[in-house]
Amino acid sequence: MSVPSGTNQIAQWATTARLGYEPMPDESWFRRWEPYDTVAPPSRYLNSCTWYARPDPGHIVLVEPWYAAEDVEPLDRTVVAFAVHPALRYRAAIRAGEHFLTRVVFLESAPPPAVTLGDAAWDLHTATHAPTPEEGGRAFHRRLRKLLAGWGFQGHMELRPGGLVVYYAGLKPIPEGYDRLLRITRDVVAKAIAYEG
Strand, coil or helix: 137 = helix
> Per-residue pLDDT tens for 180-189?
999 999 999 9
Rounded to two decimals, the pTM is 0.94
pLDDT digits (tens, 9 = 90+) for 65-121: 999 887 788 889 999 999 999 999 999 999 999 888 887 655 567 778 999 999 999
Euclidean distance between CA atoms 103 and 106, whole angstroms: 8
pLDDT in the model for residue 53 = 83
Of residues 103 and 179, more confidently modeled: 179
Contacts of 152 (CB under 8 A, 6+ apart): none
Distances in whole angstroms, Cα of residue 15 to Cα of each of 35, 37, 78, 174, 175? 31, 33, 20, 14, 11
CA gap 85, 97 in Å, rounded: 27
Please state the rounded mean pLDDT for residues 139-158.
Answer: 97
The stretch 17-46 carries a mean pLDDT of 94
14 vs 107, more confident = 14
